[in-house]
Amino acid sequence: MSATDLFGLYLARLGVQPPGVDFDGLSALMRAHMQTVPFENLDIVSGRPRPLSTEGALEKIARDRRGGFCYEVNEAFFALLRHLGFVVRRIEGRVWQPGARKFGAAFDHLALVVTFPHGEYLVDVGYGDSHRTPLRLPADSVEDVSGRYQLHPWQDGMLILSSDKQPLYIMSLMAQELEAFLPMCRHHQTSAESVFARGVICTRATPSGRITVSGDRLSIVDGDCRTELAVTSHAEVLAAYFGIADAWP
C-alpha cells in the first residue's frame, strides 16, 4: 500500500479532513487521535513484539485500525504531521516510576514537538491518560476532562510534565532519529520488567471521559460518573469499545 493511501486511511479513521497547518489544526488532529486511536499493549502481552519502523507504525494504525504504545502511536502521528506540512521532531522522555520513585532510562518514551513561527508545542498522543491539547514550551498548563497538566523547566535543560497527581515524565528537547529509540522499544516489548508485560492495557479518550481496560477490569469514566466492570471476554470488549478485532489472544 502506498504512503498516500495510508495517510488517506489515517485521516479517514480520525474522521477529519486535512486541517490547516496551524495551532487549531494541530489541536483538532490531536483531539481526534486521542479519541480514536487507543493506547494499547496487546501485541506485547500476546508475545508478538513488532520491529519499530515508520511504515510499520503507519500500517498498524491506519490500515489495521489498531493502537499501540508510545513508540508506535507517536511515530505514526509524526509521519502524518510531516505529510500534512507541520514542522515536527521526535524527542525522548523518561517516564516517572511511582513504585521506584524515580524516572526511567533515556528514550523510555517517544514524544513530539511541533514548531510554528510563534513558538513550539509538546504533542503526545501516546502516553494514555494525558493532556488533550498541545502545550507550549517551555511552560504551560491546561485543565480538561482528564485533569490538570503542567509543563515547566526542570533541570539540566530538560522539561517536566506533571498531572495534578504526580510527575509524568521529563524530556530533552533535542531532535532524535527513530533509530535512537529502538533499544528501549525492544526492551519494553520483551523484558519481564517492563510495565507493558504485566497485563492488558487498552485505553482511549472520549469527549466526556475515558474508556480503559486494565487487566480484567473495564473502567468507563463519563464526567463525574465512573463504572467498573469485570471483563469476561477481552475479544468482545476490545471490539465493542475500541473497534479492535482479531488482536486477542
| Number of residues that make up the chain | 249
Instruction: Report d(CA 22, CA 240) in Å as an integer.
Output: 34
- Quote the pTM value: 0.96
Question: Residue 193's pLDDT is what?
Answer: 86
Per-residue pLDDT of the chain (249 residues; tens, 9 = 90+): 787 799 999 999 999 999 999 999 999 999 999 999 999 999 999 989 999 999 999 999 999 999 999 999 999 999 999 999 999 999 999 999 998 899 999 999 999 999 999 999 999 999 999 999 999 999 999 998 889 999 999 999 999 999 998 999 999 999 999 999 999 999 999 998 888 988 999 999 999 999 999 999 999 999 989 999 999 999 999 999 999 987 776
C-alpha cell at 88: 515536527
Question: For 218-230, b where at least 16 C-beta lie within 10 A, e where not — what string?
Answer: beebeeeeeeeee
Q: Vertex 127, ends 124 and 133: CA angle to 5°?
A: 40
Helix extents (H) in the chain: 3-14, 23-36, 42-45, 54-58, 70-84, 182-190, 234-242
Contact 137, 121 (CB under 8 A): yes
Contacts of 14 (CB under 8 A, 6+ apart): 29, 32, 33, 36, 37
Residue extents of the structural domains in the chain: 3-242
CATH topology of domain 3-242: Arylamine N-acetyltransferase fold (3.30.2140)
